[in-house]
């Protein structure tokens, strides 16, 4: 079975032998891959909506992995249960990811690893999780259909970080792979466009976007 390049990257961030919850599983292709490749021991594929979950169940049956993959309907981490050591959340907005944890952090009590691939607001995702009991073990950028996605692997534990780590990734900014430059060129265009359309009365938001733009020029786009 073939996964998208993005989901393949996410899958290979998961430690072998993990018990995984995939929040917002949609089709559950990631879970099926994790089982078929013998990366995960078992998975809980959950989704907020009936439609995607019905598709997930159909795929799970088709690939004959009903014994290894459970499904659950629920919002965010609500359906988590004892024994899950790894949570994957990918293809959702960064602020949605933070919202799933912010008011019910106890749901992550037994979780040792988080694999997050936000499709927006990655800076806030890093800042939130690195300040709430996790450190960055690995970090990558992956290009899929001309879009560059960040994938973060966080482990339970504390380390100290600075603003630049949240903005550019503590590992990514050290590695500075070719995609890093491309990603921040796109970020530069995105932020400039936002600033052009954001009304002047949003003083705080405009100020933080300008600061981010300055940092992109200074730290990400200089060799």
Ligand X SMILES: C[S@@+](CC[C@H](N)C(=O)[O-])C[C@H]1O[C@@H](n2cnc3c(N)ncnc32)[C@H](O)[C@@H]1O
Q: Which is nearer to ligand X, 93 or 170 (CB)?
A: 93
Q: Report residue 200 as tokens.
A: 């002047």
Smallest gap from residue 22 Cβ to ligand X (A): 7
Site residues (CB under 6 A) for ligand X, limited to 144-163: none
Nearest distance, CB of residue 170 and ligand X, angstroms: 23
Phi, psi of 220 (to 5 degrees): -100, -30
Q: Is 24 in the site for ligand X (CB under 6 A)?
A: yes
List beta partners, residue 44. 21, 70
Site for ligand X contains 32 (CB under 6 A): no
Q: Residues in contact with ligand X, total (CB under 6 A)?
A: 14
> 194: phi > 0 → left, psi -120 to 50 → alpha, else beta; which?
alpha
Give the one residue of 7, 141, 154, 220 binding ligand X; rule: CB under 6 A.
7
Q: Which residues from 47-106 bind ligand X, rule CB under 6 A?
A: 47-49, 52, 75-76, 90-92
Give the residue with the Cβ less far from ligand X, 49 or 64.
Answer: 49
Are 210 and 191 contacting, i.e. CB atoms less than 8 angstroms apart? no
Taking phi first (over 0 means left), then psi (-120 to 50 degrees means alpha), and beta for anything else, what does residue 38 get?
Answer: left
What strands lie across the sheet with 113-117, from one edge to the other? 69-73, 40-47, 18-23, 86-90, 113-117, 147-156, 134-144
Q: Which stretch binds ligand X (CB under 6 A): 17-25, 34-42, 58-66, 141-149?
A: 17-25
Smallest separation, CB 64 to ligand X (Å):
21
Helices (H), the chain: 5-11, 29-36, 50-62, 94-102, 122-130, 163-168, 172-175, 178-197, 203-215
Task: Tell me the window of 19-27, 142-150, 169-177, 195-203 that interacts with ligand X (CB under 6 A).
Answer: 19-27
Q: Whose Cβ is closer to ligand X: residue 120's or residue 188's?
A: 120
CA distance 48 to 90: 14
Q: Which is nearer to ligand X, 76 or 150 (CB)?
A: 76
Give the residues lining the site for ligand X (CB under 6 A). 7, 23-26, 47-49, 52, 75-76, 90-92
């Amino acid at each position: 079975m073939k996964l998208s390049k993005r989901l393949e990257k996410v899958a290979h961030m998961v430690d072998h032998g993990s018990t995984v919850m995939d929040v917002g599983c949609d089709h559950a292709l990631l879970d099926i891959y994790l089982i078929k490749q013998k990366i995960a021991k078992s998975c809980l594929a959950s989704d907020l909506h009936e439609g995607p979950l019905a598709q997930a169940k159909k795929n799970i049956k088709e690939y004959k992995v009903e014994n290894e993959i459970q499904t659950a309907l629920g919002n965010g981490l609500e359906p988590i249960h004892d024994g899950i050591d790894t949570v994957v959340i990918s293809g959702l907005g960064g602020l949605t990811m933070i919202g799933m944890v912010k008011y019910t952090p106890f749901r992550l009590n037994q979780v040792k690893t988080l694999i997050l691939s936000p499709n927006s607001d990655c800076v806030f995702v890093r800042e939130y999780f690195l300040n709430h009991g996790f450190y960055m073990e690995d970090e990558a950028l992956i290009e899929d259909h001309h879009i560059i996605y960040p994938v973060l692997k966080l482990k339970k534990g504390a380390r100290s970080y600075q603003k630049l780590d949240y903005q550019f990734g503590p590992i990514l900014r050290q590695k500075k792979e070719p995609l890093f430059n491309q990603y921040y060129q796109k970020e530069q265009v995105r932020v400039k466009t936002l600033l052009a359309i954001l009304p002047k009365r949003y003083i705080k938001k405009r100020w933080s976007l300008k600061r981010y733009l300055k940092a992109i020029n200074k730290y990400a786009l200089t060799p």
